[in-house]
Amino acid sequence: MAVLTTRARKASPAAATGADLISTLGSPAGHGRSRWWWLWLLILAIVLGALVAGWWFFGSRRPSTPLYQTAEVSRGDLVVRVTATGNLQPINQVDVGSELSGIMESVLVDVNDKVKRGQVLAQLDVSRLQDQLANARGALAAAQAQANLAAATVKETRLQFSRLSSLFKLSHGEHPAKADVDTAEAAWQRALASQASARAAVTQAQASLSTGETNLAKASIRSPIDGVVLSRTIEPGQTVAASLQAPVLFTLAEDLSKMELQVDVDEADVGMVRDGQRAEFTVDAYPGREYPAKVRRVGFGSQTKDGVVSYLTVLTVDNSDLSLRPGMTATASIVVNERRNVLLVPSAALRFTPVTTTGAAAPASGSLVNRLMPHRPRGVAAKPTAQPGATRQVWILRDGQPLALPVSIGASDGKQSEVTAGELKAGMQVITGRVGASP
């Protein structure tokens, strides 16, 4: 029993010493392996990121074959048009008003009524005008009476002067006295002056009477033309005040079977518009119908609306079926040029220029961050539109590569342009744009 106890006690220090050593060596070794794993993962992520960035940076600059969009050159008719908007108006539109003030007694027509020249449209109250007319007639009668009295006085004084003059001559100046003869002559001259004044008073009275009659006639508002009533702004019983200007009571249109379209032509297009050019226009009321028209006048005076300079152009319109109405908004298309059986090329081909490519990518400059940052793709600058008579170039594909052909350009409608000279032939394919690149 004593031996066994001693061995057990001797073995215990050795076991404790081994456990402590394992514990001491094992803990740092495990912590070191964890650190190495995180370090390897970080290195692997950096390498993968560098590979992806290098593939994007250098792979995007590998030369590729561009793909182009083409269109066929053809022969056909080219019609150049100028588009403008405006409103329909009657050829002759008249505003009817009143020169007199007063109460409207009656209105005899309404909107859309057809009227004849001289027809009474409305009637003012004429009681005051009739009183004024009666007063003028009385004044004329009084003036005529005074004129008759003056005429009698002239006759009397003339006879008196003649009698005294005869006696003076027969008596060789002895009888009557010379002063009496002169007095009679003066009386006769005064009578003549009074007669002239009376005649002038008669003329004034006649003028006043004529004015009264004219005012009485103007109390009846009459139509100045044959036409139709477009609008009226008066009702029976309303007071008409014509103090400074005649108020508009009715608006009449002379003949709606013939109208005019007034459009605003932009300053960039007015140089192509001429009198006599044909046109077509549409209105919202009949969207599927085109009405013919003809340019009658291109105005020289400019007008500015919202900063846009335009010129008023008038087109004549046939409205025999009366489907068009004044004030309708119309969109007109004026034919300014027509070319028959000409060589046509798409206008997009005149604006195209191929992008120059090289076998190697251009060296990049700047820092690594600048190289890795995405940039805006390189494009082709827009080319100005072709002008008539200008020499331009179009591109065709030959052996897969763009080849430039010089051409002379004529008329253009924006979509197609006329080719007047050059090596371009009908049926050839011209490049109109780039659609991408093949890998």
CATH assignment of the domain containing 289: 2.40.30.170
pLDDT at 171: 83
**Under 8 Å between Cβ of 377 and 60:** no
Distance from chain centroid for Cα 329: 11
Contacts of 357 by beta carbon, 8 Å cutoff, 6+ apart: 63, 64, 66
* Domain co-membership, 246 together with 271: no
Which CATH number covers residue 109? 2.40.50.100
Q: End of a domain among 320, 338, 356? A: 338
> How far is residue 160's CA from residue 153's CA, in Å, rounded to a whole number?
11
Coil, strand or helix: which one is 432? strand
**Number of folded domains in the chain?**
5
* Domain co-membership, 137 together with 176: yes
**Under 8 Å between Cβ of 235 and 104:** yes
Place of tokens 């009659």: 213
* Domain co-membership, 263 together with 299: yes
Which CATH number covers residue 375? 2.40.420.20
pLDDT at 387: 55
Q: End of a domain among 190, 218, 246? A: 218
pLDDT in tens, the chain (439 residues): 333 333 334 444 444 444 443 444 444 444 555 667 777 777 888 888 878 776 666 555 555 667 888 999 999 999 999 999 999 999 999 999 998 999 999 999 999 999 999 999 999 999 999 999 999 999 999 999 999 999 999 999 999 888 888 888 888 877 788 888 889 889 999 999 999 999 999 999 999 999 999 999 999 999 999 999 999 999 999 999 887 677 899 999 988 999 999 999 999 999 999 999 999 999 999 998 999 999 999 999 999 998 999 999 999 999 999 999 999 999 999 999 999 999 999 999 999 988 764 433 334 333 433 444 444 333 333 334 445 557 889 999 888 889 999 999 998 888 999 999 988 899 999 999 888 655 5
Identify the helix (H) or strand (E) that includes residue 53.
Answer: helix 2-59
* Domain co-membership, 281 together with 428: no
For the chain, counts of helices (H) and of strands (E): 5, 19
* Domain co-membership, 249 together with 112: yes
* Domain co-membership, 353 together with 432: yes
Identify the helix (H) or strand (E) that includes residue 157.
Answer: helix 127-170
Identify the helix (H) or strand (E) that includes residue 83.
Answer: strand 74-90
pLDDT at 388: 56
Model's pTM, two decimal places? 0.61
* Domain co-membership, 231 together with 110: yes
* Domain co-membership, 246 together with 279: no
Output 279-283 pairs: Cβ under 8 A, ≥24 positions apart: 279/315, 279/332, 279/333, 279/334, 279/335, 280/332, 280/333, 281/315, 281/317, 281/330, 281/331, 281/332, 281/333, 282/330, 282/331, 283/88, 283/324, 283/328, 283/329, 283/330
* Domain co-membership, 146 together with 28: no
* Domain co-membership, 111 together with 167: no
Q: End of a domain among 218, 240, 271? A: 218
* Domain co-membership, 181 together with 299: no
* Domain co-membership, 332 together with 347: no
Domain that holds residue 27: 1-59
pLDDT at 27: 46
**Under 8 Å between Cβ of 221 and 246:** no
